[in-house]
């Protein structure tokens, strides 16, 4: 038995979300139909609002609703250190540790020849443009995956000739793991034990 057209369309749209299979999408669709209309509209409005008001900071490329973002505009941040991460979710994970007080640069991906993602497909060029004599250290806090390691090495080779100390987060994060799933203590230790990339 097939679903009626409006329900089928809702299920199809939910299936397009990452990690949502057809069974989960159907369960969510039936839940949305069951909740009060106002709650369903609130969910729809929140999605529309986020799509219309959230954009990338022109400096660090983190998600923001102000220009520049609150981290880039804060006078309390250490402007001599930039922590480079793959995703805006990684900024949130590191901020939860309350151990890092520098600036960020979000790449929005990692170098992956298999996926045909090269340095020009992520925000590496914009990182290089941020390097001034004021920047003393760049922390490569990319994920500890093959792609993350390749990206960290590329950044090191690119920035080291500019006189910047490029360090790598220490192995406190499990290899193959993503920063967003690490707990605060593990991330804190990884930041404390960062090392220079050879």
Residue 132 has φ and ψ, to the nearest 5°, of -125, 170
Do 131 and 190 belong to one domain? Answer: yes
Do 123 and 81 belong to one domain? Answer: yes
Compute the distance between CA of residue 197 and CA of residue 152 in angstroms, rounded to an integer.
8
The domain that contains 150 carries what CATH number?
3.40.1360.10
The domain tally of the chain equals: 2
Assign 76 a pLDDT band (cuts: 50, 70, 90).
very high
Do 82 and 178 belong to one domain? Answer: yes
What are the pLDDT digits (tens) for 78-117? 999 999 999 999 999 999 999 999 999 999 999 999 999 9
Question: Which residue range forms the structural domain that includes residue 175?
Answer: 56-196
Its pTM stands at 0.84
The domain that contains 33 carries what CATH number?
1.10.8.420
Do 43 and 120 belong to one domain? Answer: no
The whole-chain average pLDDT of the chain stands at 93
Do 45 and 60 belong to one domain? Answer: no
Q: Regarding predicted confidence, which is higher, 136 or 197? A: 136
Q: What is the signed CA dihedral for 76, 81, 87, 90, rounded to 10 degrees?
A: -70
What are the pLDDT digits (tens) for 164-185? 999 998 876 777 778 888 878 7
Task: Classify residue 108 as exposed, middle or buried by CB count within 10 Å of its CB (0-12, 13-18, 19+).
Answer: middle
pLDDT at residue number 1 = 59
Alpha carbons within 13 A on the beta-carbon side of 104: 32
Distance between start and end Cα atoms, the chain: 61
Do 12 and 104 belong to one domain? Answer: no
């Amino acid at each position: 038995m097939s679903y009626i057209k409006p329900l089928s369309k809702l299920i199809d749209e939910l299936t397009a979300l990452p990690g949502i299979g057809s069974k989960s999408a159907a369960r969510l669709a039936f839940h949305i139909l069951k909740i009060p209309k106002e709650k369903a509209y609130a969910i729809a409005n929140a999605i529309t609002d986020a799509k219309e008001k959230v954009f990338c900071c022109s400096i660090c490329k983190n998600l923001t609703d102000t220009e520049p973002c609150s981290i880039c505009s804060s006078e309390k941040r250490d402007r001599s250190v930039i922590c480079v991460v793959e995703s805006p979710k990684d900024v949130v994970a590191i901020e939860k540790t309350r151990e890092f007080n520098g600036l960020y640069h979000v790449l929005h991906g990692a170098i992956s020849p298999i996926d045909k993602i090269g340095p020009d497909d992520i925000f590496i060029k914009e990182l290089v443009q941020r390097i001034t004599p004021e920047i003393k250290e760049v922390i490569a806090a990319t994920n500890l995956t093959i792609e993350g390691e390749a990206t960290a090495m590329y950044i090191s080779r690119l920035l080291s000739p500019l006189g910047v100390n490029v360090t790598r987060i220490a192995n406190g994060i499990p290899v193959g793991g993503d920063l967003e799933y690490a707990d605060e203590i593990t991330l804190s230790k990884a930041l404390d034990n960062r090392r220079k990339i050879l």
